[in-house]
Amino acid sequence: MKISSSMIKALNDQIAMEAFASNYYLAMGSWCEITGYEGAANFFYQHVDEERLHMMKIVHYLNGVGIPAVIPLVKAPPKTFKSLESVCKTALKNEQAITAAINKMAELAQKQKDHSTFGFIQWFINEQIEEEKIFETILQKFDLIGRDKLAINEIDKSLASMITTNAN
């Protein structure tokens, strides 16, 4: 199978984005845990594993077609956050950036008639619809039930209930 150098670069860049997202969620989970948001901490810790799984899918895809994946150096995410709501807003922005990058890869694959890579990317396109929806739903809860301590506690409980036992 022939994959263009521009597609290889895009896939390796996506590995770096997924690795950074995993680390970012780790920082978010850690901040939530130390701040007393146990449900949110566990929710974000689960997302650490999901983003790592996404990264590994791309690594295996490249390696499977005989192209060595580039394992990136990952810059450190922030250590502290302003609030649980700001954490969720940041997570949504991160997911939107990942969606944009995946959509660009899909467009590149279509343009280059790289049907195998386009088929591979389809899973990520569907996954990102779900990821963005999760964070949009969480952020709606702040508007629906408020931002006082009781509301934040309910949102934390809601995040705990969103934890799934299945991996993507």
d(C-alpha 108, C-alpha 22), whole Å: 25
41 closest CA partner among 28, 24, 52: 28
d(C-alpha 140, C-alpha 16), whole Å: 30
Contact residues for 8 (Cβ-Cβ < 8 A; gap 6+): 62, 67
d(C-alpha 165, C-alpha 157), whole Å: 17
Domains by residue range for the chain, with CATH: 5-161 (1.20.1260.10)
- Give yes or no for residue 146 having a pLDDT over 50: yes
Average pLDDT, the chain: 96
Mean per-residue pLDDT, 77-98: 97
- Rounded to 5 degrees, φ, ψ at 60 are -65, -35
Query: Do 48 and 105 contact (CB within 8 A), yes or no?
Result: no
d(C-alpha 17, C-alpha 24), whole Å: 10
- Give yes or no for residue 156 having a pLDDT over 80: yes
d(C-alpha 103, C-alpha 98), whole Å: 9
d(C-alpha 68, C-alpha 48), whole Å: 24
CA distances (Å), 143 to each of 136, 147, 155, 156, in order?
11, 8, 11, 14
Label residue 167 by pLDDT band (50, 70, 90). very low
Helix (H) or strand (E) holding 104: helix 84-111
What is the tens place of the pLDDT at every residue in 13-41? 999 999 999 999 999 999 999 999 999 99
What is the tens place of the pLDDT at every residue in 51-85? 999 999 999 999 999 999 999 999 999 999 999 99
Q: What is the pLDDT of residue 27?
A: 98
Locate the DSSP E strands across the chain: none
- Give yes or no for residue 168 having a pLDDT over 70: no
